[in-house]
């Protein structure tokens, strides 16, 4: 049986599209059961519907600061679809600690930096202002703290001297689309285990794969 997944979005849903595409493979261990948005105007809803995925809108604005009230409605929707795992894809709504604990170890998020560096807003600008030579994206389990939680997978790109936030963002987005489906594959196939603040991967013996930037040879 494939794990039933909900993708939560607030905008264009580019990572959502990558996950939906990956899940069409016969050997992918998860199926996208539903896409839920807290905004009716989220462009990703149309993309999901065009892919034959059931969509739902739960507007968060009417709830104001009542996060628990919003989450109660969201949880009912997840229960109705028998959702087992959640992937956040640009979901711009903070969760209560209670909701996060309920889904601990079953909810993934992706952030466009090599966490724990540059959490929060404008990660690309943060990276450029820090003068780093390598940046990237991180898939992690969700905990109450923003852009924190055990790291599942990371992908990196070299940062060029003439990069802008926009050019760096586009290259990192390509990495996001590669690693998010693979992280979901690992979770849905039961290969991940949590040990305190760390995520371990069964059968992972990789020791290679170095990236040096700038190249000197």
**Which residues participate in catalysis according to the annotation?**
111
pLDDT of 217 > 80? The answer is no
pLDDT of 201 > 70? The answer is yes
The domains located in the chain, with CATH, are 1-103 (3.40.50.170), 110-211 (3.40.50.170)
Phi, psi dihedrals of residue 150, rounded to the nearest 5°: -55, 130
Distance CA 102, CA 176 (A): 26
pLDDT value for 205: 62
pLDDT value for 162: 97
User: pTM for this one?
Assistant: 0.95
Residue 117: CB partners within 8 Å, gap ≥ 6? 126, 127, 130, 132
137-153 pLDDT tens trace: 999 999 999 999 999 99
* Percent of all residues in the chain with a pLDDT value above 90, rounded to a whole number: 93
Distance CA 89, CA 18 (A): 10
pLDDT of 45 > 70? The answer is yes
149-195 pLDDT tens trace: 999 999 999 999 999 999 999 999 999 999 999 999 999 999 999 99
Distance CA 194, CA 25 (A): 27
């Amino acid at each position: 049986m494939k794990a039933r997944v909900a993708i939560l979005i607030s905008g264009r849903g580019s990572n959502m599209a990558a996950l939906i595409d990956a899940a069409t493979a016969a050997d992918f261990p998860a199926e996208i059961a539903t896409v839920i948005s807290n905004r009716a105007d989220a462009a990703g809803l149309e993309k999901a519907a065009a892919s034959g995925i059931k969509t739902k809108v739960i507007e968060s604005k009417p709830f104001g600061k009542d996060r628990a009230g919003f989450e109660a409605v969201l949880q009912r929707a997840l229960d109705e679809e028998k959702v087992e795992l959640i992937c956040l894809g640009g979901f711009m709504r903070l969760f209560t600690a209670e909701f996060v604990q309920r889904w601990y170890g079953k909810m993934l998020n992706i952030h466009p930096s090599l966490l724990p560096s540059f959490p929060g807003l404008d990660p690309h600008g943060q990276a450029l202002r820090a003068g780093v030579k390598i940046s990237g994206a991180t898939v992690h389990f969700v905990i109450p703290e923003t852009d924190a939680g055990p790291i599942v997978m990371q992908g990196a790109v070299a940062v060029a001297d003439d990069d802008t936030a926009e050019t760096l963002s586009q290259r990192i987005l390509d990495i996001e689309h590669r690693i998010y489906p693979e992280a979901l594959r690992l979770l849905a196939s039961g290969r991940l285990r949590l040990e305190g603040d760390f995520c371990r991967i069964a059968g992972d013996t990789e020791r290679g794969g170095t990236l040096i930037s700038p190249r000197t040879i």
